[in-house]
Structure 1
């Protein structure tokens, strides 16, 4: 809330240099802000009495936007990468897929390991779980199983996350 939008009876006022000007009516605070040719901005509405500050509102909004942008720059987004396997995968192929998953995990991403079943492979779903177990075993030095293997339709999925 700024300027005329502030309808409180009394407010705690902070001057443009950050000094405490004490508790006064909102009208008096507004007069002081106009005298300094700046805006009266409510910065802590939940306080008793609410805290208002005399500042340049445009500059204040710009500073807030800049801080928000800076915070966004520093945060890392965690992506979910997918590695697809088949029940009758060969050892070398499994090693290659494990290498790719290892690379994703070291970058800080989560890995979704999908074991896809096609045609007659559907009849042997339970005996193919060992492929996912072997995969998790190969990566146990860098990964931890976040969600255990679970059957969803024609595939079995498992999630791996980076070990801390």
Structure 2
């Protein structure tokens, strides 16, 4: 027998509008706000200021202007509405969201791996790379990987990472002291903020 699933109370079909507009606003009174109230007053022939109005009157005003009545804050008492071009409103909203997303910085983490017996030449080579990464604004995750019995050299690994941090003082700062996680001793270095 086929099983029936009931829809939850919070279910909304995918194609519903984000905001209630025009005839979908069924509340008797609304608070009208907006930048175009002077323009609206000229079309209607009376001075209009932000305030509470009967919904059917505000819908008529929106029709006269050839615009949409859009519910901006449905949970307010009474709900807040604007008379605007709804498609233009959605376009500008998506544009702002996209700008905010693009401005958000993406954190890049570069990994540098050491062994507990890393010699000076390898250390200097990896240090040079770490400085470059930090100058480019990326975080550096440095770790000492202990394979097999090399785990007995934990102190060597810690000293190596502390030396690494000391050499990078001018380029970045450690988020925490080196700590052992499984077979790795890890430290993360964040770049210094550029003025």
Q: Give the structure-1-normalised TM-score.
A: 0.89
Q: Offset at 1:102?
A: 1.3
1:36 to 60, 65, 79: 65
Provide structure 1 residue ranges, at least 5 long, that are not aligned to the other structure.
none
SS at match of 1:125: helix
Please identify, of 132-141 and 61-70, the stretch whose mean Cα deviation from structure 2 is larger: 61-70
1:141 to 170, 174, 188: 170
Please identify, of 30-39 and 40-49, the stretch whose mean Cα deviation from structure 2 is larger: 40-49
Relative to structure 1, is the Cα distance of residues 121 and 15 closer, same or farther in structure 2, using a 3 angstrom cutoff?
closer
Q: Offset at 1:158?
A: 0.7
Distance across 1 between alignment mates of 2:156 and 2:118: 13
Distance across 2 between alignment mates of 1:26 and 1:82: 61
Q: Offset at 1:21?
A: 5.3
Distance across 1 between alignment mates of 2:105 and 2:161: 28
Please identify, of 99-108 and 20-29, the stretch whose mean Cα deviation from structure 2 is larger: 20-29
Give yes or no for the alignment of 1:55 onto 2:74: no
Question: For residue 26 of structure 2, what is the aligned residue in structure 1?
Answer: 7
Count of aligned pairs between the two proteins:
164
Give yes or no for the alignment of 1:101 onto 2:120: no
Question: For residue 75 of structure 1, what is the aligned residue in structure 2?
Answer: 104
Provide structure 2 residue ranges, at least 5 long, that are not aligned to the other structure.
1-19, 39-48
Alignment RMSD: 1.9
Distance across 1 between alignment mates of 2:34 and 2:170: 57
Structure with bigger strand share is 1
Question: For residue 13 of structure 2, what is the aligned residue in structure 1?
Answer: none
